[in-house]
Amino acid sequence: MSDTTQSPVQDAEIVTEPPNPSSPPPAFDINAYNATLEIVRHRLTLLEKARAEMKTLNEMYNDIFTNDDGYNEADKVVKEALKKKKDVKAQLAKQTAAVETYGKIKDLKAQIKDNEEALSQELMEYYKTSGVTEIETEDGDVQEFKIVVKLKAKKRAEK
């Protein structure tokens, strides 16, 4: 059985009404806050239970294959072929052209990641100022964006 730990990060979509500059901000409603907090906690509990059940079912499913001799023999043949492929790839990757190309790929990936992070911040600012989740590109195409919130465990201070 493989140990597949799942990330504690949750995806959620924010759905908000565009800000109305003429109305004052609503007063804090403790009842709405508590109700929402309970709903969120309940949803987190449901997700934890579903993930635990999925882990158990995945283990049962994988055991079906690992307990079969025919499957194990085929798996052994595949692993040997993959090792040969890996060795050939490692030799080819040492060639000058491959090293240069891979370096360019890494640089371009970093550039793309930086630009995506900047775009995310810029779109958030655009949403804050305009209240809309659509933007027209330079080509005239209209694209919609969504705001995603990720929930993750807070890091605790070392004692």
Domain borders along the chain are 1-15+28-93, 95-147
> ∠ at Cα 30 (48, 130), nearest 5°?
85
The Cα–Cα gap between 131 and 124 comes to 10
The Cα–Cα gap between 159 and 67 comes to 45
User: Is the entire prediction scored with pTM above 0.85?
Assistant: no
Confidence of residue 18 (pLDDT cuts 50, 70, 90): low
What is the number of other CB atoms lying within 10 angstroms of the CB of residue 72? 11
What is the number of other CB atoms lying within 10 angstroms of the CB of residue 127? 20
85-90 average pLDDT score: 98
Express each pLDDT in 19-60 by its tens digit: 555 666 678 889 998 999 999 899 999 999 999 999 999 999
> What does each C-alpha distance from 91 to 45, 47, 85, 88, 103 come to in angstroms?
49, 45, 10, 5, 17
The Cα–Cα gap between 83 and 135 comes to 48
pLDDT at 5: 47
109-125 average pLDDT score: 95
87-102 average pLDDT score: 98
